[in-house]
Amino acid sequence: MRRLVITENITLDGVIDNDGTWFDPGDESEAGRELAAVTREHAAASDGFLVGRVTFEEMRGFWPRRVDDTTGVTDHLNRVEKYVVSRDMKDPEWEGTAILRGGDRLETEIRSLQSREGKDIVLTGSVSLARALLDLRVVDELRLWVYPVVVGAGRQLFIDGHELRDLTLLESRSFTNGVVLLRYARD
């Protein structure tokens, strides 16, 4: 059975909106390369990429066009099966993409993907979808890349009334730039 993993870059105050000042996926510094190496390890353990429509459209407009990508993200996204949750998308315009209709069918669609042979399915960004999947209890692992910044405003993964009490810490790893990777399993 495939696992569903949510991975998010997040600030100390819980913000996952990136205004371009605290998270750079193309960071070529030593610390950036250190983070990229772990990201490549995680990518190697996956063969599915799940996002909502907005995140999908942002990524579709950026990653496939990168010819100078040293992070490996472009190669990874072109290789894996992509799943986009959208009620109204007709043509994803990105090879290897399947459309999931979501809504009342979301849990059934996700459990069907999980029941297939393969590696992990990873969701990144897509805050509304991430919340819905956490509420449906279909998430197997939560990976939080916690950046040592406080931005004070922006969309947050966890909002008032959203409780996660059934988490088991799998890993806590710190990096030279102060970022901490926290990996939790859902019990």
Query: What whole-number distance in Å separates Cα of residue 187 and Cα of residue 171?
Result: 15
Q: What pLDDT is recorded for position 174?
A: 95
All domains of the chain in start order, with CATH: 4-186 (3.40.430.10)
Q: What pLDDT is recorded for position 161?
A: 67
**Burial class of residue 159 (count of CB atoms within 10 Å of its CB; 0-12, 13-18, 19+):** exposed
Q: What is the pLDDT of residues 90-105, one digit of tens each?
A: 999 888 999 999 989 9
Per-residue b or e along 35-72, where b marks 16 or more CB atoms closer than 10 Å to that residue's CB = bbeebeebbeebbbbbbbbebbbebbeebeeeeebebe
- Higher pLDDT, residue 93 or 146: 146
- The sign one gets for the Cα dihedral 20, 25, 30, 36 is positive
Question: H-helix or E-strand containing 58?
Answer: helix 53-60
- Higher pLDDT, residue 121 or 27: 121
Mean pLDDT of the 69-79 span? 82
Amino acid, single-letter form, for residue 156: Q
Q: Is the pTM of this model over 0.75?
A: yes
Q: What is the pLDDT of residues 129-144, one digit of tens each?
A: 999 999 999 999 999 9
